[in-house]
Every structure is written in C-alpha cells, then in structure tokens.
Amino acid sequence: MPINAIDYSNGSMILGTNNGIYYDARYITAVSLPQQKLLNVYPNPSSAQIFLPNELLYKKIELKNIAGQLIREMNIASVLDISFLSPGIYILSITDIAGNSYYTKVVKN
C-alpha cells in the first residue's frame, strides 16, 4: 500500500493511498513486510534494547514507524536502544555492504 497522503487534521492519523482508499492508523493492526530477507533480532518484543545479528556488515540501519516515517538511522550498531519509543510496532530495515536488504517487525512494549 503506497501512501500518498497523511492527514492529522481530525486528531488522528489518516493514511491515503494511490487508489483513493483511506485508513485510520489507529485501527491498523497488521504490517506487511517485503518478502525478500527477514532479519532475526532479540529480544522481540522488548522495552529497552534489541540485539542485531553480528554476522552482517552494515551499511545502513533504519527504524521506521508503521506509517513509514523514519525514526532513527544509523550506520553501525550491534545493539539498538528503543527505550525512548512509545509502545507499538516498528519496522527495522538493514542494508549490508553488498546492498542486500533485511527487514523485521520490532515490538516495543
């Protein structure tokens, strides 16, 4: 679902898509991830930090909310601090130095 509009005017986040369908972000309960390569992080869910696999040589690490907004971007990390996040579901994507992308859902409790 490519998002082409986000409306906060009524106090909630409404996501608009290219086909004219609008979703209230308060009621989105599932996140669809690309089917390429899934990433295993632990512990998940977590309230403070998650550990990333150390066998990958990272080029870029991104943490996004379910609306696709970038929360944090890093180049190198083996531990990701998520203590500052509100409880919810986030998307973690890692690009290695070979250009391969890995994805996973991260649950902050």
Residue 85: burial class (beta carbons within 10 Å; 0-12, 13-18, 19+): middle
Q: Does the CA dihedral 59-64-68-73 come out positive or negative?
A: negative
Give the residue among 40, 88, 83 at the shortest CA–CA distance from 64: 88
Q: Does residue 55 sit in the same domain as residue 102?
A: yes
Rounded to whole angstroms, how far apart are CA atoms 49 and 79? 7
User: What single-letter amino acid sits at 32?
Assistant: S
Q: Summarize pLDDT for 24-63 with one digit per residue, the tens.
A: 555 555 555 444 577 889 999 999 999 988 767 788 999 9
Q: Is there a single domain that holds both residue 25 and residue 38? A: no
Q: Give the domain extent around 58.
A: 31-108
Whether the model pTM is above 0.85: no
- Same domain? 97 vs 49: yes
